Amino acid sequence: MDFSVGSTKISFLRGDITDQDTEAIVNAANSSLMGGGGVDGAIHRAGGPEIIEECKRIISEIGRLETGKAVITSGGNLKARYVIHAVGPVWRGGRSKEDELLRSAYASSLDVAGRNGVKSLSFPSISTGAYGFPIDAASAIAVKSVFKTAEKSAFSEIRFVLFSDPDLDAYVAAAAAFKKTIVK
């Protein structure tokens, strides 16, 4: 399913983010940048050791990557030239600034992409796996952040790569609902 926002194609598909041929893929990382399970583990397995070496270098400079922030490394053996590592919030019931921090994870990723000349990138569903963010709320936040940035930037394509059909359905529904609010 595709949407057009300004000059940006925003697409939604079910798939594996490590297979994507966009210039960058986004990793749902944690503050240590040392890899882990879920999409993070899959990206490091497919991308090889170069990515973790760069992550270690970054962590030796900054200590830890704060929740809501993002950094960029090369893509190692991936098709994507870059990996943008973003830290989403752990869901703690909804009163610990989770919405704001998730918005910030998407905004920081797009900001880092823009500053590095990246024109196309793929996002996974940040925070909705091990971090437990409810998918309906997370998809609405993700879609709104990306559509709003796309309106005023020069990305050619922003892809959401969902790992299951129910997740894909939630994101497509969020996109359709958000499109309706901007057409009105």
Active-site residue list: 40
38 makes contact with ligand ADP (CB under 6 A): yes
Shortest distance, CB of residue 183 to ligand ADP, whole angstroms? 29
147 makes contact with ligand ADP (CB under 6 A): no
- The CA distance from 120 to 110, in Å, is 10
Question: Which residues on neighbouring strands pair with residue 27, listed in sequence order?
Answer: 85
126 makes contact with ligand ADP (CB under 6 A): yes
35 makes contact with ligand ADP (CB under 6 A): no
Strand 70-74 to strand 82-87: parallel, antiparallel, or no bridges (unpaired)?
A: antiparallel
C-alpha distances (whole Å) from 108 to each of 40, 45, 146 are: 18, 24, 11
125 makes contact with ligand ADP (CB under 6 A): yes
- Looking at the chain, the number of H-run helices and the number of E-run strands are 5, 7
User: Which CB, 61 or 165, lies closer to ligand ADP?
Assistant: 165
Q: Which residues bind ligand ADP (CB under 6 A)?
A: 16-18, 28, 38-40, 42, 88, 124-131, 161, 163, 167
